[in-house]
Structure formats: C-alpha cells, structure tokens
Copies of this chain bind each other. A is one copy, B any other.
Amino acid sequence: MAAQKEISKSVLKRLPVYLAYLRAMPVTAPDHISATSLAQALGMGEVQVRKDLALVSSGGRPKIGYPKDRLIHDIEEFLGYGDPNDAVLIGAGKLGLALLGYSGFAEYGLNIVAGFDADESLVGKIKSGKTILHVSKLEEVCREKNIKIGIITVPAEYAQDVCNLLIQNGIQAIWNFAPTHLDVPDHILVQNENMAASLALLSKHLNEQMRKGV
C-alpha cells in the first residue's frame, strides 16, 4: 500500500473511476496499462492520472505501465475496499429498503449489516437477507460488531436525533440521505446525499428551459 500521504477529495473522486474502468476491461486486454492510455480512455488529463496512480501504487514502470491486476488491487486497498466496512442503516422507509436491497455496495467495500426503525410494524421484515431490527437494538449491534459507519434514511425532522444516537454508539462516519444539515463533533465525518435537492434542480431547470421556449 502507498504511503499515508494526505489526499484530496478530488483524488478520492477519480480513483473509483479508474477502478471501474480497469475492472471492466476485457480479459483479452493487455496485462499492463499506462497512465497515458488510461487518461486517453477516460478523457482525463494525463499528468493528473499519472500523479494519482503514483500515489496509490508503486507498480508502474517506464514504457510498460502498471500491471493491471496489481493496479486494481492497489486502488482497492487504498480505498479500503479490500477490508469491507460494516454499516448500520436507520430508517426502513422506501429509500432505506432500496439501499438495504442494493447489492452493489459490496463492490465499494460497504456491508450494511442490518436496518433499524422505530416503527414496530417494520421490525422483523427481511430485505435481501438484511433484517430490520428495532432501534432499541442499535447499541447492542454497534458494540458487538464494532460498527463505524451509520446510514441515515429517516425523514429530515428525525435525522439529528438519529445522528446523535449513532455517535453515542461509536459511529465515526455518517452517510446522510435525509435532506437536512447535521451538527456533529469535529472527528465525525458527514457525507450528505440530497436526492430531493438534485431532483428539484433538475425539475427547475426544465421549467426554466420551457419558459425560454427551448
């Protein structure tokens, strides 16, 4: 694994792009790939790709490039995909159930161990092998499995309370799908996904285009 340098968010956005491309290459493709050809294939700057790859892998050789399998492995390890992170999800509504049922997270090193909800009528339901537990079991599960990631899919008005509860139970990184701001201590990371805002932006754009008669 590469040295533990400080890395920027923009690098962390590009690495999954390289990884997706490398993983999707046919088995008949050459064993090695250069930063130049990767940059060309993805329409990205060569200097940037070269720097990014050098940051995560020491396998590159002049004129030959990187052994593809090793590069995939090094990026995965750098991103922590090799060692999956367990997560809990709070809020078993439509979005919560959709995320619980989505099997694609495993490729990104995320393993949702269970869903939680305060609504007794949802407790005991099973979605794609993941059980919905009552939120009173959260502490037990977090402690036993040493969970560090919490996913919030409750309505906005409950999100701060759920966030506080997660932090009390040792969660250090929060993936927030509730369309609201969360107050957290400095050592906690909150990553916001505001789908409602995205949809509102798309919709407003269409309205504006219609007004312009485009």
Contact = CB atoms under 8 A, between A and B. Distances in A.
Interface of A: 4, 7, 9, 12-13, 15-17, 20-21, 24, 41-44, 79-81, 85, 93-95, 98, 101-105, 108-110, 148-149, 155-157, 160, 172-173, 175, 179-181, 183, 187, 189, 191, 193-207, 209, 211, 214
Contacts of A207: 80
A155 B42 CA distance: 11
Count this chain's copies in the assembly: 2
A187 B212 CA distance: 11
15 contacts: A4-B211, A12-B197, A12-B201, A15-B200, A17-B196, A20-B157, A20-B196, A44-B181, A80-B204, A80-B207, A94-B104, A108-B200, A149-B206, A172-B205, A175-B202
Given A9-B197, A24-B155, A108-B200, 5 more contacts: A7-B204, A17-B196, A24-B157, A80-B200, A110-B199
A188 to B, nearest CB: 9
A95 B107 CA distance: 12
A12 B194 CA distance: 11
